[in-house]
């Protein structure tokens, strides 16, 4: 709590200094006029008379802020000249020039205060005079806002070196300030190319001359395949001439193996054959 009180005391003592007071009052002019213009437009389209009255009051107060701002700027000018006349003479000249422009624009703020007060007394929606005064108030407010922002920008160019258009020493590029390029300690010289003999490749055989004949070449006869049904052999485990049935493809018939000649069975072989039992 004590720190908060100390900060308030410091701010109050700083406001007594004209150099800080004009810096604190300058943004109130610009932002106050912009806020008043926006509130007037919103109140007109929303048909809110109280909002229009509040907007006109804001515009009038922002315009009246110009007069204490001008007095504080005029009072701070001598000290500004004493501080910057040796180190930055261009800043002193720019500040004095901007102060003269602020003083020359005083008629705009005076006229804005009168028009805003007349509009507040008559009313925006009462008659055509009130509507005309409201339109004049908006135009004058926009004009003074532009003038205040322009003069603020000129002060920023003079006192803020970080801006791009400021002629600061860091932006000056001289020939001596640029670093000298480093010298190369050793240069690499590429070796000259050496021509290598190329052995001739083996000669390829000459291609046969293309024969041009009008008659077309005869087509080869289509291959035909005949299907021979297999001969069933007796299923005998002791027969040396029995062959397993080959696998048959459903699409194409496979070639048949050669058939062995049939040899008549002997008595012993016949006796060994199992006869099926008769079915009753």
Residue 68 has pLDDT above 80, yes or no: yes
**Residue 25, token pair as written in the block:** 């009052």
Max mean pLDDT range (20-24, 38-42, 222-226): 38-42
State the pLDDT at residue 35: 93
Least confident piece of the model among 89-103, 111-125, 165-179: 165-179
The token pair at 39 is: 């509130």
> pLDDT: is 131 or 162 the higher one?
131
Decide if pLDDT at 56 tops 70: yes
- Give the start-to-end residue ranges of the domains of the chain: 2-161
The confidence band for 32, taking pLDDT boundaries of 50, 70 and 90, is: very high
Q: How far apart are CA 67 and CA 109, in angstroms?
A: 9
Terminal-to-terminal C-alpha distance of the chain: 127
Predicted pLDDT of residue 152: 87
Q: Tell me which DSSP letter residue 105 carries.
A: T
The Cβ of residue 59 has, within 10 Å, a number of other Cβ atoms equal to: 30
Q: Looking at residues 226-254, what average pLDDT do you find? A: 57
Q: Would you place residue 166 in the very low, low, confident or very high pLDDT band (cuts 50, 70, 90)?
A: very low
- Residue 23: exposure state from Cβ atoms within 10 A (0-12, 13-18, ≥19): middle
pTM value > 0.85 = no
Residue 256 tokens read as 């048949």
Burial of 134 (0-12, 13-18, 19+ CB in 10 A): buried
- The pLDDT, as a whole number, for residue 218 is 60
Give mean pLDDT, residues 199-206. 53
**Is the pLDDT reported for residue 182 higher than 80?**
no
Return the pLDDT at 5.
86
**Dihedral pair phi/psi, residue 199, rounded to 5°:** -75, 135
- Percentage of residues of the chain with pLDDT beyond 70: 59
Structure tokens at 232: 């069933």
Band of pLDDT at residue 114, cut at 50, 70 and 90:
very high
Least confident of 17-26, 144-153, 157-166: 157-166
Of 179 and 80, more confident: 80
Tokens 């300058």 belong to 26
* Six token digits for residue 107: 């008629």
User: Angle between the 89-104 and 106-122 helix axes, to the nearest 10 degrees?
Assistant: 40
Output the CA–CA distances (angstroms, integers) from residue 1 to 8, 13, 15, in the order listed: 11, 19, 22
**According to the per-residue pLDDT averaged within each range, which of 24-33, 75-84, 257-266 is highest?**
24-33
């Amino acid at each position: 709590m004590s720190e908060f009180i100390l900060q308030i005391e410091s701010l109050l003592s700083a406001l007594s200094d004209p150099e800080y007071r004009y810096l604190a009052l300058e943004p109130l002019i610009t932002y106050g006029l912009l806020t008043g213009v926006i509130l007037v437009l919103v109140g007109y389209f929303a048909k809110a008379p109280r909002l229009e009255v509040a907007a006109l009051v804001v515009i009038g107060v922002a315009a009246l802020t110009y007069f204490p701002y001008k007095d504080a700027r005029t009072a701070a000018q001598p000290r500004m000249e004493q501080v910057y006349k040796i180190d930055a003479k261009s800043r002193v000249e720019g500040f004095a020039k901007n102060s003269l422009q602020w003083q020359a624009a005083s008629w705009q703020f005076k006229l804005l205060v009168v028009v805003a007060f007349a509009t507040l007394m008559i009313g925006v929606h009462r008659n055509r005079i009130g509507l005309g005064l409201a339109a004049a108030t908006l135009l004058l407010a926009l004009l003074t806002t532009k003038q205040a922002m322009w003069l603020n920008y000129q002060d920023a160019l003079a006192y803020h070196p970080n801006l791009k258009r400021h002629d600061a020493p860091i932006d000056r590029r001289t020939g001596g300030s640029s670093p000298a390029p480093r010298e190369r300690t050793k240069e690499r010289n590429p070796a000259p190319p050496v021509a290598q003999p190329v052995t001739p490749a083996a000669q390829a055989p000459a291609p046969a001359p293309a024969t041009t004949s009008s008659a077309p070449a005869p087509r080869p006869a289509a291959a035909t395949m005949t299907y021979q049904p297999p001969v069933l052999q007796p299923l005998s485990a002791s027969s040396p001439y029995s062959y397993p049935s080959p696998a048959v493809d459903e699409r194409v018939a496979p070639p048949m193996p050669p058939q062995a000649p049939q040899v008549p069975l002997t008595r012993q072989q016949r006796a060994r054959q199992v006869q099926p039992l008769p079915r009753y």
